[in-house]
Amino acid sequence: MKRRNFIKAAGISGASLSLFPGTHNLNASTFRKLAKPTPICIATWNFHEASKTAGELLYKGASALDAAEQGVRVEEENLKNTTVGNGGAPDRDGNVTLDACIMSPSGDCGSVVYLKDIEHPVSVARKVMEKTPHVMLAGEGALQFAIQQGFQKKNLLTKESEENWKKWLEKKEYKPIINIENHDTIGMLCLDEKGDIAGACTTSGLAYKMNGRVGDSPIIGAGLYLDNEIGGAVATGMGEAIMKSVSSFLIVELMRQGKSPQEACEIAVQRIVKQNSNYKDFQVAFLALAKNGEIGSFCLHKGFTFVKYQDNQNTNTPSQSYL
């Protein structure tokens, strides 16, 4: 029997979960008192090269912020990944538009939306965080800022992505396919040797989306959120549903209230189910990391996996699911 069904059948409320062995009821002060774990990098999906890059940096003493940025950059330049960065699937007008955000242990954050012609939007987002009084820059303003910061313009529409887009134009049918990467992203959380946590999220968004569409990935609190006293969370899947629930913020706040990362991710999925009558038609997935190194992951449909790099081991783990 699935865990959620057992809880429902037994009449166990969320408030009483802490009474059972194996569950956790840790407040912020408890998290701070726990021994620091070895450095950890976790990321959505099986982006093992990204987690390896970030993880190796962490074990060389890099900060969580540097590791998260460099880790997701691996996928931004991966031409085989059609959901992130260079080679990403375009919108229905043929434009490759990128969204990304980054968040530091201090709580500072930066974001770019609808950015064209720049291969590494996550690095532009970091510049927004460090060089401007703003959190988010969009469109032409984001591109202008990127060029001012020394980024070079580049055509991101590869021949393969262009050919696939032209095939799509023949029918112009938009229908997200669950667990087929036409609407997924990479979200990453890193915990460094100092015990600090940082995160990044980057995507080219829904394949063949409407011109101008922005999803959850660059929205602080939706695609990514962290609190250096508690932990962090990242999201992937159907951004519209995730934005409606501000899911990453919700997960971290549930962890602050004493829920384990696993419990918090499960509650966030249940919230989306409650808010969306068509929840069977799309995928959402969440990944959370507590300051004590505990990990949680939960998704709507089966098929979501996450990677973890720790103690020089890179593993890919299937997530538990609601359905």
Helix (H) or strand (E) holding 88: none
The b-or-e profile of 161-196 (16+ CB within 10 A means b, else e) is: beebbeebeeeeeeebebbeebbbbbbbbbbbbebb
d(CA 162, CA 159): 5
Query: Among this protein's residues, is 185 annotated catalytic?
Result: yes
- Residue 146 token pair: 């990127």
d(CA 264, CA 23): 12
β-partners of residue 188 are 43, 200
CA 57 to each of CA 51, 53, 191, 218, 309: distance values in angstroms, whole numbers, following the listed order? 10, 6, 11, 24, 11
Q: Which of 97, 158, 185, 203 is catalytic?
A: 185
β-partners of residue 112 are 100, 137
d(CA 99, CA 139): 10
SS3 243: helix
The residues, any chain, with a CB within 8 Å of residue 299's CB and separated by 6 or more, are: 237, 269, 283, 284, 285, 286, 319, 320, 321, 322
Name the residues annotated as catalytic.
185
